[in-house]
Chain A
Amino acid sequence: MTRKILALVIACMLLPVWQVFAEKPRDGITYIFDFYSDTGNNRVIAPAVSLSKKLSDTYYLGTKIGVDAITSATKTAQPATPPPAGGEDESEGGNMSLRVPLSLSLTYDKDNDTVTAGGYYSLEKTYTGRSLFAAYTRRMNLNNTALGIGFSKSFDNCIPDHPLPTDRRSERSLDLTVTQLLSPRQSVQVTYSALRSDGFLAQPTDQLVTPAFTSYAQYPDTRKGTAYAVRFVTLLNDPTSLHLYYRYYRDDWHIQSDTTNLELYRDISPSVVLGTRYRYYRQSKAYFAKDLDLYTPGDPLIAVDYRMYAFQSNTIGVMAILKPSQSFLSKFDADKVKLKLSADVFTTSKHENIQYMYHTDRLTGLFTTIALDYNF
């Protein structure tokens, strides 16, 4: 059970994300191989196939199916202090689980309007995930401007091994996006997101164990967050482009965060684009988060997860986009094929709750993506 819940947290990365940009729908297939590993003993290997097929002049069918092999640490009740030096930590172990998530969508695209609607479903022994989403994009001003609006809602159910106030979790998001070309070399995109969550919002397995008492984590039943983001892309010179991104987020748990991302891409040759990135993130703590040794049995809200506390993280990465030559792919049209590779490493700042949960002073993780695009 514990393994399932923790695996679920990691498995979220395998869910679909539907972009609302100014671009037209794709008619093609993508083979994806994602990998994730961190110092908290979590690992995901996730091959998937994503298909967007043009059905007629105006309709596209989208689907994504994959297999998630998830190995995650099994956490049970833990002491508030690290295990003694040389002592074996029996609370961790590698357990693998498999799941097959499926998503389907239908896109209508005509002239300057694009509408997409779809759903996601996954079933596990202890968790059912369901979501519906819809998006509308309108292009205008000779494709210089695009307005996008999207809505998604999930209806999840969890069957934990201990009583919860509710076994239901619902998350809703509304995204409004404006994309504008500024010049033949520059474009900008502004996004507003409204996020609402209710149900069991703490991880059911997070547990605070002190000499005086033991208690599961408990968060407020609802959460309202907003995010404001801006992206800017500019061509520095003919072979090099610069991508800048900033996001400000805040919610009614008093968590505020700043995210900045910088990426550079450069044409190395007609068939190779290389890129590099740096990302910085920092956040403040939730109003109910306290030092672990300050909690008392009478506290109605208890946080163990480091994500409810102030910390920062840094990410660096490299990317490559390769277009095989015709001689290399003699049986295929080389112009229809692209291989996209990326590898990123993130590391958080030191935090006592990371030490408590994962028995390491900071979390460091590696994630890689290999994607082979083929356009019909």
Chain B
Amino acid sequence: MKKILFCLILLSLIGIAGCAEQLVRVQPYEMEHFSKDKMLFTPLESRTAFEEHIFSIREASAGGSSGFQGGCGCR
């Protein structure tokens, strides 16, 4: 499993590096929409932090949120 993950990460990095031109999908002067709250991945940061902990307490799953947490026994 670790080897598969390592290969996936390596391939992703190679792909990102090799496809740099193709990955420039939006020019700087076209990014105005992404500055708006409603286009952020977490428009309400405090709520996201709060609910992720609530769901980690009330459910058996965690992760997948690109958030780092610890120091508690909520799981």
Interface residues of chain A, those whose CB is within 8 Å of chain B, are 8-21, 23, 30, 32, 34, 36, 50, 101, 120-122, 127, 129-133, 135, 140-145, 147-148, 150-154, 156, 158, 169, 171, 173, 175-185, 187, 189, 191-195, 197, 200-201, 203, 223, 225-229, 231, 233, 235, 241, 243, 247, 249, 255, 257, 259, 265-267, 273, 275, 281, 283, 286, 307-308, 313, 319, 321, 338, 340, 342, 344, 346, 348, 363, 365, 367, 369, 371
Interface string of B11-35 (1 = CB under 8 A from A): 0110010001001111110110110
Closest B residue, CB atoms, query A253: B60
Interface residues of chain B, those whose CB is within 8 Å of chain A, are 5, 9, 12-13, 16, 20, 23-28, 30-31, 33-34, 36-75
**B63→A227 contact, CB < 8 A:** yes
| A residues near B41, Cβ cutoff 8 Å | 21, 179, 187, 189, 231, 233, 243
- A17 to B44: give the CA distance in the assembly, Å: 13
| A residues near B51, Cβ cutoff 8 Å | 344, 367
Consensus secondary structure, chain A interface? strand
- A308 to B68: give the CA distance in the assembly, Å: 23
* A365-B64 CB under 8 A given contacts A145-B23, A321-B44: no
**B62→A142 contact, CB < 8 A:** no
**B67→A12 contact, CB < 8 A:** no
- A128 to B43: give the CA distance in the assembly, Å: 32
**B71→A154 contact, CB < 8 A:** yes
- A247 to B62: give the CA distance in the assembly, Å: 9
Closest A residue, CB atoms, query B8: A192
Top 3 A-B pairs, shortest CB-CB distance: A193-B63, A131-B70, A229-B64
Select which of A144, A148, A346, A367 is within 8 A of B66 by beta carbon.
A148
**A15→B28 contact, CB < 8 A:** no
**A283→B61 contact, CB < 8 A:** yes
Q: List 6 additional contacts besides A8-B73, A367-B54; criterion CB under 8 Å.
A: A12-B53, A18-B67, A131-B69, A223-B75, A275-B43, A286-B60
**A131→B71 contact, CB < 8 A:** yes
* A17-B55 CB under 8 A given contacts A11-B72, A255-B60: no
| B residues near A257, Cβ cutoff 8 Å | 59-61
**B25→A182 contact, CB < 8 A:** yes
**A156→B61 contact, CB < 8 A:** no
- A285 to B26: give the CA distance in the assembly, Å: 44
Highest count of chain A CB atoms <10 Å: which of B28, B53, B64: B64
| B residues near A247, Cβ cutoff 8 Å | 61, 63-65
Select which of B13, B64, B71 is within 8 A of A156 by beta carbon.
B71
**A14→B64 contact, CB < 8 A:** no
- A197 to B66: give the CA distance in the assembly, Å: 18
- A257 to B50: give the CA distance in the assembly, Å: 20
* A144-B75 CB under 8 A given contacts A19-B42, A321-B44: no
Select which of B28, B40, B53, B68 is within 8 A of A151 by beta carbon.
B68
Select which of A132, A143, A249 is within 8 A of B64 by beta carbon.
A249
- A365 to B58: give the CA distance in the assembly, Å: 10
**A173→B33 contact, CB < 8 A:** no
- A340 to B47: give the CA distance in the assembly, Å: 9
| A residues near B30, Cβ cutoff 8 Å | 184
Select which of A34, A307, A338, A340 is within 8 A of B59 by beta carbon.
A307
- A17 to B72: give the CA distance in the assembly, Å: 12
Closest B residue, CB atoms, query A145: B23
**B46→A265 contact, CB < 8 A:** no
Select which of B9, B38, B58, B73 is within 8 A of A176 by beta carbon.
B9
* A143-B66 CB under 8 A given contacts A13-B53, A344-B51: no
Closest A residue, CB atoms, query B12: A178
